[in-house]
């Protein structure tokens, strides 16, 4: 079974957590695209969605799902998103699609964070297979990069990428994150950092892993 099929399995399994007459928080990325496609089957049952990226917003509208701003809601029942890496403790690295800040904003509104992944995203230590994205105010790019080097990382400017917020991304390689909660806090306190791609302060509540044997749910 290929990776796309496993993503679809995880995405469809998340539909059972969608309650009628609610607004659904929706992240971004290839696995979430599968979820949006599946969610289109429930367009008449839900009120709509809050999207964490402009791309997801476009896909939701194409499915006939009304899109609300995060400012329009006080809370969300669920938020469904993917991850670039996830640990057994449900801490994640996200931001491969450069939507990490908006993903954190929408996730913070949700009572339940549901992470949908294929089995290749599972790691024991964050930073093992994927660089850590850090969203940075453009004028602080070099300053933040020097700080990341001092912390043991190898930051690389993501050429040609501007976030939906008008900022830039530094991808930090060779960064084994042994204490995700403390590292998330430390990086967010660096002047010029908008946020970083560690999701440990607000980890997933439920993880759905697409496997060749079906969906594995960890609650």
In tens, the pLDDT along 105-145 reads 999 999 999 999 999 999 999 999 999 999 999 999 999 99
Rounded Cα distance between 10 and 15, Å, is 9
Contact 89, 79 (CB under 8 A): no
What pLDDT score was predicted for residue 1?
75
Average pLDDT over residues 2-10: 94
Average pLDDT over residues 56-79: 97
Collect all residues with Cβ–Cβ distance below 8 Å to 119 and sequence separation of at least 6.
6, 209, 210, 211
* Assigned token pair, 136: 């940075």
Say if strands 214-218 and 67-68 run parallel, antiparallel, or are unpaired.
unpaired
The domain locations on the chain are 3-122+201-218, 132-195
Residue 193 pLDDT class (50, 70, 90 cuts)? very high
pTM listed for this prediction: 0.94
Contact 79, 114 (CB under 8 A): yes
Rounded Cα distance between 33 and 42, Å, is 15
Q: Which fold has domain 3-122+201-218?
A: Rossmann fold (3.40.50)
Binding annotation for substrate = 28-31, 81-84, 94-97, 121
CATH architecture of 132-195: 2-Layer Sandwich (3.30)
Contact 124, 89 (CB under 8 A): no
- Which candidate in 103, 135, 182, 219 is catalytic? 103
* Whether residue 60 has pLDDT greater than 90: yes
Q: Which of 175, 179, 186 is nearest to 130 (CA)?
A: 175
Q: Where are the alpha helices (DSSP H) in 63-129?
A: 100-108
Binding annotation = 28-31, 81-84, 94-97, 121
Mean pLDDT of the chain: 96
Contact 116, 110 (CB under 8 A): no
What pLDDT score was predicted for residue 205?
97
Residue 20 pLDDT class (50, 70, 90 cuts)? very high
pLDDT tens-digit profile of 94-105? 999 999 999 999
Whether 103 is catalytic = yes
Is it true that 3-122+201-218 and 132-195 share their CATH fold?
A: no
């Amino acid at each position: 079974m290929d990776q796309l099929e496993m993503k679809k399995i995880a995405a469809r399994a998340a539909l059972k957590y969608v309650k009628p007459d609610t607004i659904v928080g929706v992240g971004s990325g290839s696995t979430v695209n599968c979820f949006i496609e599946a969610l289109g089957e429930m367009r008449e049952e839900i009120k709509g969605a809050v999207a964490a990226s402009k791309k997801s917003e476009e896909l939701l509208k194409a499915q006939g799902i009304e899109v609300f701003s995060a400012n329009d809601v006080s809370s969300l029942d669920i938020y469904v998103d993917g991850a670039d890496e996830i640990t057994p403790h449900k801490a994640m690295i996200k931001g491969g699609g450069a939507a990490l800040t908006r993903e954190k904003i929408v996730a913070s509104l949700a009572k339940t964070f549901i992470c949908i992944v294929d089995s290749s995203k599972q790691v024991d230590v964050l930073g093992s297979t994927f660089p850590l994205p850090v969203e940075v105010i453009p004028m602080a790019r070099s300053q933040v990069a020097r700080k990341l080097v001092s912390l043991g990382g190898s930051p690389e400017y993501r050429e040609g990428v501007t976030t939906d917020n008008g900022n830039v991304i530094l991808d930090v390689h060779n960064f084994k994150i042994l204490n995700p909660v403390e590292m998330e806090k430390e990086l967010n306190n660096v002047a010029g950092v908008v946020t970083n791609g560690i999701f440990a302060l607000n980890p997933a509540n439920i993880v759905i892993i697409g496997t060749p044997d079906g969906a594995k749910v960890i609650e």
